[in-house]
């Protein structure tokens, strides 16, 4: 049998989640953040960040995001040997 607390908990969880999801998807603005190294870090359209460079641009960016990403790449500082490995320490980057 469903316990007394389960249905209210379910309804509450659904409502809170929908509000958070709705605001996160449609209302929230996330600033674009650029980073150093060989590529640039730009905002995912999901709110996350991605490491991009000219080689991977076509694989990780939506067409709408490409001009913005391209601009971020061209404005990013040139890679330096001091940064090697180039992407170490970059948020969201698995390397």
Partner 1 sequence: MRWAVQAVWLAALNPWGLYRVGGVCLPVLNCHGCPIAATTCPIGAFGNMLDLRVVPFLVLGSWGLVGALVGRLPCAWACPFGLLQDLFAKLRFIPRWRPPRWTSALKYAVLVGMVLVAGLTVGSASRWYFCGICPAGTGTAGIPTWIRYGLAVPSIRLVFLGIFLAMMLFVTRGFCRLACPIGAGLALFNRFSLWRLRVNQGKCVACGLCRKVCPMGEDPAAAANGEECIRCLDCRRCPERAIGLGMSNVPAKDAGGG
Residues that bind partner 1 (CB under 8 A): 1-2, 5-7, 9-10, 13-14, 16-25, 28, 30-31, 33, 44-51, 55-56, 58-62, 84-95
* 3-state SS class at 55: coil
Q: Which is nearer to partner 1, 40 or 61 (CB)?
A: 61
Q: Which is nearer to partner 1, 77 or 89 (CB)?
A: 89
Q: Which is nearer to partner 1, 81 or 85 (CB)?
A: 85
């Amino acid at each position: 049998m469903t316990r007394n607390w389960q249905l209210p908990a379910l309804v509450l969880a659904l409502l809170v989640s929908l509000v958070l999801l709705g605001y996160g998807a449609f209302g929230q603005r996330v600033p674009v953040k650029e980073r150093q190294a060989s590529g640039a870090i730009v905002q995912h359209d999901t709110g996350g960040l991605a490491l991009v460079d000219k080689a991977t641009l076509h694989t990780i960016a939506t067409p709408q995001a490409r001009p913005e990403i391209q601009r971020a790449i061209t404005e990013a500082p040139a890679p330096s040997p001091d940064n090697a490995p180039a992407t170490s320490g970059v948020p969201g980057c698995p390397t």
